[in-house]
Every structure is written in C-alpha cells, then in structure tokens.
Amino acid sequence: MKVIGRPFKKGESGNPRGRPALPPDLRKQIAKDKVSFLKLLLRYLSLTHEQRHARVSGPEVTGAEEIIHGLINKASTGDGPATKIILDTAFGKIHDDDDSEFSDEDIRILNRVKELRDQEIKEARSLDQTSPSGAV
C-alpha cells in the first residue's frame, strides 16, 4: 500500500537512531585525505597561473589537482562560490558573529581592501564602457 502524506506521526523521526557512525579506520583515512587536500590547495595557491596550468597539463595529474586548478581559476575570475570554497577550506569558515577575533586594525585593513577592490571593479567597468564595441 502506497503511503500518501506523512508516513510518521508529527515529531517522530524516520531515522530514530540517526546516521550510522563511520568505522574508525575510515574516519582516520578521511582525516588524512582532508589534510592532504589542504596541503595541496595551499601549494597550488602559491603558484602562478602558468605554473598551475603546466602542472595540470602533465601526465600524472590527480583528480584533486584538477579540482583545485578549476576552483582557483574560477575564483580568480571573481566567482564568489569558488572563492568561498577556497577560503573556507584553507582558513576555516568565518561566521558573522566571529567579529570578536578581529582587532580594530584588522577590520580597518579589511575595509581598505574592500574599498580598493570596489575601486578596481569601478575602473574596469568604466574601461569596458569606453572601449569600442567588440574590443576587449
């Protein structure tokens, strides 16, 4: 018989015991993989675009390297979600209520960086508007 609507009473979980725990050896392997991925990400962040491209074009490139290369390329073009993934992975997530960890000087520097970025965007847009149609 097909159940229509809610198969459980209100407030009753469909999975009362929750998600099963991973075996300890698998948890250790995942932790090692996360550390390896983070090290690889930080290494790739220190390379120039040409160096990353040469590395990814090589015959022994891993899937993780391809993913990191793609993320960095997207982030460098202003892709917000890719940038967020990189920053969250490399430096940890920063929550809105974590302001207490920033000094007044830190906040001043971050605001100045934002101003400079906004200024660069404004200048780039004005150059786009003044260039002849079809030219880049």
Confidence of residue 136 (pLDDT cuts 50, 70, 90): very low
Do residue 37 and residue 85 come from a single domain?
A: yes
Q: What percent of the chain has pLDDT over 90?
A: 4
Tokens for 123?
Answer: 């200048």
Number of domains in the chain: 2
pLDDT of residue 74: 92
Answer yes or no: do 80 and 103 share one domain: no
Strand, helix or coil for residue 27: helix
- Do 28 and 35 meet the contact criterion of CB atoms below 8 Å apart? no
Q: Where are the alpha helices (DSSP H) in the chain?
A: 24-45, 49-56, 63-76, 80-91, 104-130
Tell me, yes or no, whether 88 and 99 share the same domain: no
Question: So what's the pLDDT on residue 112?
Answer: 79
Residue range(s) defining the domain that contains residue 78: 29-93
Residues 6+ apart with CB under 8 A from 82: 71, 72, 74, 75
pLDDT tens for each residue of 31-83 = 888 888 888 888 888 888 899 888 888 888 888 899 999 999 999 898 888 88
Radius of gyration for the chain, computed over Cα atoms and rounded to the nearest angstrom: 23
